[in-house]
Amino acid sequence: MDLWNTVLPYILSGISVGGQYALIAVGYTMVYGILRLINFAHGDVFMVAGLMMVYFAASMPLYAAIPLMILLTVLLGFTIERVAYKPLRTAPRMSVMISAIGVSYLLQNLALYVTGGLNKNYPEIPWISDKITVLGATTARVTVITPFLTVALVFALVYLINHTKIGMAMRAVSKDFETAQLMGIRINSVISATFVIGTFLAAVGSLLFFSNYPGIVPTSGAMPGLKAFVAAVFGGIGSIPGAVVGAFIIGISESLIKGLDTILITQGAIAEQMDFSTFSDAVTFVLLIVILVFKPTGLFGEKTTDKV
């Protein structure tokens, strides 16, 4: 088999994974851009969205379950900000981050309690779960539509940020928190709006992600969340296109490293297995450290200077 045909399936699945990371990464990057907070709970909100869908789909038709799930997830994101982050606005940054870790711990434990520690199977959503054949490879339709949907959503978001009043306010707040406040921007509503948008995307992301990988456990959100955050840092935190590009790069490298053994063996480069797939999670962090060391602001990040 020639190299291209061997590698293609891995790249395709990487793009699909990357698209899902991108939707989560946007939430991270927006929150960080405004609050300078790594919202560790974001990945868990994503997991909770998945669980809600499991329970709703069991008791109502899909056309009701999906909007309800998205609505409640957005409400959850909004509430978390109001309860756990807003009171700490004047506290040191470390305290807010610890609060975020606390929320993440709470959400995971709540999920453990509600599910009784059992794996939950995501409901099958007709049409997007169907089997199709693309470029000679068989896969589920959701795998193919994810990247397109992601890109479309992100374009809409970029339009929102660049061409609406709330978008302008967001940009102002992320540039300079205090000055924006002095200019009469209602900081709290801007921050809430950020969380609402971020969790909305996470809810959509969870719909795509769990349709593709249908098992949910309480820790399901942790790793995708962390990887999405790394994607945000990789692309330059605060930059939405950066987060998306970063997410695709991370998705593809993760998929490639899982298949690296097979690619090298079928190409005759190595005779024996090297077990590179052990590093499927670690490769994300290697990328992170490389970028932090050589270009700490990420691919598209702006340079900031320390204020004394």
Pick the binder of another protein from 176, 215, 270, 302 (CB under 8 A).
215
Q: Helices 282-294 and 240-266, interaxial angle, to 10°?
A: 130
Nearer to another protein, 124 or 176 (CB): 124
Segment contacting another protein by CB under 8 A, of 148-156, 171-179, 186-194, 284-292? 284-292
Please tell me whether residue 67 binds another protein under the rule CB under 8 A. no
Closest approach of another protein to the CB of residue 164, in Å: 29
Nearer to another protein, 63 or 127 (CB): 127
Pick the binder of another protein from 103, 203, 228, 245 (CB under 8 A).
103
Segment contacting another protein by CB under 8 A, of 144-152, 174-182, 186-194, 270-278? 270-278
Please tell me whether residue 282 binds another protein under the rule CB under 8 A. yes
Please tell me whether residue 177 binds another protein under the rule CB under 8 A. no
Pick the binder of another protein from 60, 64, 67, 113 (CB under 8 A).
113
Say what the alpha-carbon torsion angle 251, 148, 168, 82 is, to the nearest 10 degrees. Answer: -60
Within 40-59, the residues that bind another protein by CB under 8 A are: none
Asked if residue 6 lies in contact with residue 68, where contact means CB atoms within 8 angstroms, the answer is: no
**Residue 280: DSSP 8-state:** T
Q: Which residues of 69-92 are buried (b: 16+ CB within 10 A; e: fewer)?
A: bbebbbebbbebbeebbeebeeee
Q: Give the tokens for residue 289.
A: 């450290």
Binding residues for another protein, total number by CB under 8 A: 85
Nearer to another protein, 139 or 181 (CB): 139
Nearer to another protein, 68 or 112 (CB): 112
Nearer to another protein, 67 or 117 (CB): 117
Strand, helix or coil at 203? helix
Segment contacting another protein by CB under 8 A, of 113-121, 145-153, 170-178, 190-198? 113-121
Report the 3 state secondary structure along 145-157. HHHHHHHHHHHHH
Within 114-173, the residues that bind another protein by CB under 8 A are: 114, 116-119, 121, 131, 137-140, 143
CA–CA distances in Å: residue 236 to residues 134, 231, 301: 33, 8, 4
Closest approach of another protein to the CB of residue 35, in Å: 11
Residues whose CB falls within 8 Å of the CB of residue 246, separated by 6 or more in sequence, listed in order? 25, 230, 231, 232, 233, 234, 235, 236, 298, 299
Closest approach of another protein to the CB of residue 278, in Å: 5
Nearer to another protein, 95 or 162 (CB): 95
Q: For the window 222-261, what string marks contact with another protein as x by the rule CB under 8 A?
A: xxx-x--xx--x--------------------xx--xx-x
Please tell me whether residue 11 binds another protein under the rule CB under 8 A. no
Closest approach of another protein to the CB of residue 185, in Å: 24
- How many C-beta atoms lie closer than 10 Å to residue 9's C-beta? 17
CA distance 81 to 77: 6
Dihedral sign from CA coordinates of 23, 27, 32, 37: negative
Give, for 121, the enclosing helix (H) or strand (E). Answer: strand 120-121
Say what the alpha-carbon torsion angle 173, 177, 180, 181 is, to the nearest 10 degrees. Answer: 120
